Structure 1
């Protein structure tokens, strides 16, 4: 090649020109098998060399450039191209799963996902923790996410809703079962003597906001018939099954009190607080005590869970227990009996009320509990509902989200158009729209109704308990960590620095995590079957 004449300036160089693409077989091409890439210095000297005359960019004489010819045959190149073509034909989820499985750190990533139980939306953390002996200063444990795949650690999302994350929901239900059960029969640092205390299983319902379709051979039979002011029938003679979409829907949406329904949800937690306070006062009055001195003689402990009915109204299941003034370790006074506690619950349920803030558009509403009240004493001799059945009943409703019961959504809505996109019935959608409209009134601003539109205005926790009822979720998690081998060293000092870097899975990772969750669930089922047959590990 003749030498270039003259010198070339910067303006003559096209520095933005796109470089020639590297074809498969080039030592730096991503599709070139690792076996054909030089990995050791000795391999470079064993390869055939070719010398080319390359023009110097500075305009001088051409210089010699020695390149290494890769040992890559046309058949190998066709095989790589065929493999790439086959990968492109796969769905994106499968391609991502193959990419993860071929990663050198796949085994460690798999250990992390398995440790989370196959969590569907794990939280990604980055940071380090160091535990040192407080006396000697010796480093006991040290951990850094820089040694992990992607320099991050996966932890559970701890979502209670089964529709969002089934593995974490199952774990939360198990913790709830043991939390409620410990308050009924003891255990988890609660004395077993609580089983002999006055205990009730109480169900409080919302009032009626209008007639709705219900399950039965005949929904709402009316001998005289009749219609409402909107021309709709006041009765329904059709038999509805549990899966009938009409169950829970109002007979006349125009007659239904959607405003009262939403505002009752917004004040349900306050109504429960006043109910508990009034039960204490009724007990004190029945025992001849000054109401303000009740805490010196007895203590009312409870655990309650909220559940959405078919009509999308919340009702409350609660376990109520009467203890001495020091809680579960103290016996109740002689006058503290189950009959007296039952009478106090009945009286308070029909007496307490909450007044809503006055609004020119709505007025002032008086909110009360519904007429349907169920109070069942729990006895230690097995008469009535069993303790395990009550604990399992409460734990079952903790994992149900609003979307699973058809009463709202599991995620917040931020605009009016989001309400139209939620897959709910017309009755629930009207409740959500009513909640959004009421949230725009200044007198209801403290209720934050628009923030709680996805729960139809209900602002309380699904499960709440009094402080002295039993153990806590944090204590149960610490006990589980100790069971798997995480021990606390006395007089140790831990310095931890964590940072949130993301959450969730990619498509392929979600597929693998779902498979792990299914495998773990199947292992638990087989283990339970083996225990029932008496041949499995305990």
Structure 2
């Protein structure tokens, strides 16, 4: 037992904060209560979703996502839907071959599909988002759903997660597929909704395989025949009509800004604008897309019935890597080979364009869409180019609009409400909902609490603030445990019910 606070080291406070699920790198704010004249320093959780940054905040974010996934997966009734246009339904976008409207300069897409892919089945769609109910021989009703895993194709032989033949491994294609993976996933959901017979809803997470290629895990509400799912996977593709980006034009020199656009520094000739470069593709009957991507042949399709331990395991697995970076460091016998693999992939990702507005287009002799001064190839601000993200620059969690009928903030509020109601039922007064809120007013009508930025005066002060937050968290946890024991709630072992008072008010 430590006799004084001075004996507690930074490492000890860090470890205690992780155990208590308290943020280890909070933002500090000074709050003045104008009514009482009391001023205090309040730690605000950083909210990071990466375990390497803040294990406590990452854990809370994952638990919230688990709760969101579980609530929408096996709904028995339709969630609330907007009376306006269903934005969750994408417009038909099979077309990928660009053309020009004869009556205007507007680019249009034809409806031709590639001849080397199978056709999509067409199924009449019901206006529903929940799955059908089935009845077993013993008269029991159940509503099955599905768990789906989609992968990308091979780019070369892999051994222990790294290429066995790095020189022949197709890093260019691997990088392009990683950058454009969200487009392929989006196209898959579009196609599946046309073929499933209802408005498919999903909760999906993008995660890295051991070889660092992104893949998708998805919880799908309702059951879809496996042969139809495989047909949709096989028929889904994306072809990107960009200017060629496989051979750099400028490797040792850089185009310069002349006030209205980018020019070749040696010749003074203006680089083609984005519109001019794409128009050239439209007018060229022999032009080919810059990149065509499909899913790999490996796809895992499983039926899931809830409530069940299998459903809980699937939710835990679905959210397992959300707290990890794509290029998470590892320490084993393959660490050096893995780092070399990451370096080679990152070298491609740094210079390839991530979108029409990417500064990397200057490297390929084309001005990006809506160019601005100061653009430099290899310095696009999108995090997709970072070594940490390896092409996955967007959201890691994809949730359809009518999954649960609630936003993530509403799910968080629901969990907090459960905690507060449990405390009330046991006769325990929980912390005020509007505690230190900037919306609370004093008798003069002005805000009662005034928030200002501050910094700790010393490392010891910062340690003391975190230690106080740990003590407060422990007190709340003890109150909540006592309240549950007093009210004797029904035991619930669902995958989303982990984390204690994570649902409650945070210090």
Could you state the TM-score of these two structures normalised by the residue count of structure 2?
0.54
Is residue 2:291 matched to residue 1:365?
A: yes
**1:389: which partner in 2?**
313
1:435 to 349, 353, 359: 349
Structure 1 residues 361, 168: CA separation in 2 closer, same or farther (over 3 Å shift)?
Answer: same
* Deviation (angstroms), 1:276: 0.3
Q: 1:425 to 1:250 in 2, by over 3 A?
A: same
Higher relative contact order (CA 8 A, sep 6+): 2
Q: 1:162 to 1:145 in 2, by over 3 A?
A: farther
Residues 164, 209 of structure 1: alpha-carbon distance in 2 compared, 3 angstrom cutoff: same
Q: Mapping of 1:117-196 within 5 angstroms?
A: 117-126=21-30, 147-149=38-40, 152-186=41-75, 196=142
CA distance in 2, matches of 1:464, 1:144: 45
Aligned counterpart for 1:263 among listed residues 164, 176, 179: 176
Check conservation: 1:436, 1:450, Cα contact below 8 A.
Answer: no
Q: 1:135 maps to which residue?
A: none
Tell me, yes or no, if the aligned pair for 2:30 and 2:39 is still in contact at 8 Å.
no
* Structure-2 separation of matches of 1:506 and 1:127: 19
Q: Is the deviation greater in 253-262 or in 511-520?
A: 511-520
| TM score, norm. by length of structure 1 | 0.51
Partner-residue secondary structure (3-state), 1:201: strand
Measure how far apart 1:153 and its partner are: 2.4
Deviations 1:73-129 (A, max 9, x none): xxxxxxxxxxxxxxxxxxxx979979xxxxxxxxxxxxxx8999421121233567x
- Which residue pairs with 1:398 in the alignment? 322
- Which residue, 212, 219, 224 being the options, matches 1:312? 212
For residues 199 and 455 of structure 2, the distance between their equivalents in structure 1, rounded to whole angstroms, comes to: 43
CA separation of 1:379/1:169 partners in 2, compared to 1, >3 Å: closer, same or farther?
same
Q: 1:441 to 1:300 in 2, by over 3 A?
A: same
1:477 corresponds, among 409, 412, 418, to 412
Pair 198,123 (structure 1): closer, same or farther in 2 beyond 3 Å: same
What is the alpha-carbon distance in structure 2 between the residues aligned to residue 182 and residue 125 of structure 1?
A: 35
Once the two structures are TM-superposed, the CA of residue 536 in structure 1 deviates from its matched residue by 12
Q: Deviations over 1:475-504 (max 9, x none)?
A: 232234443436669xx9756687673689
Equivalent in the alignment of 1:374: 300
Q: Judging changes above 3 Å, is the alpha-carbon distance between structure 1 residues 181 and 519 closer, same or farther for their aligned structure 2 residues?
A: same
Tell which deviates more after alignment, 388-397 or 269-278. 388-397
What is the aligned-residue RMSD (CA, Å)?
4.8
Inter-CA distance 474–380: structure 2 relative to 1 (3 Å threshold): closer
Unaligned runs of 5+ in 2: 11-16, 81-129, 134-141, 248-288, 354-359, 370-378, 421-429, 442-446, 492-507
**Distance change (3 Å), C-alpha of 1:459 and 1:450:** closer
Between structure 1 and structure 2, the one with the greater Rg is 1
SS at match of 1:163: coil
Matched, 1:459 2:459: no
Which deviations, in whole Å up to 9, do the C-alpha atoms of 1:130-158 show, x marking residues without a partner? xxxxxxxxxxxx77897343xx4211112
CA deviations 1:236-268 (Å, max 9, x no partner) are xxxxxxxxxxx2111122211111111111111
Q: Does 2:186 match 1:273?
A: yes
Distance 2:400 2:457 in 1: 37
CA distance in structure 1 between the partners assigned to 2:168 and 2:54 by the alignment: 38
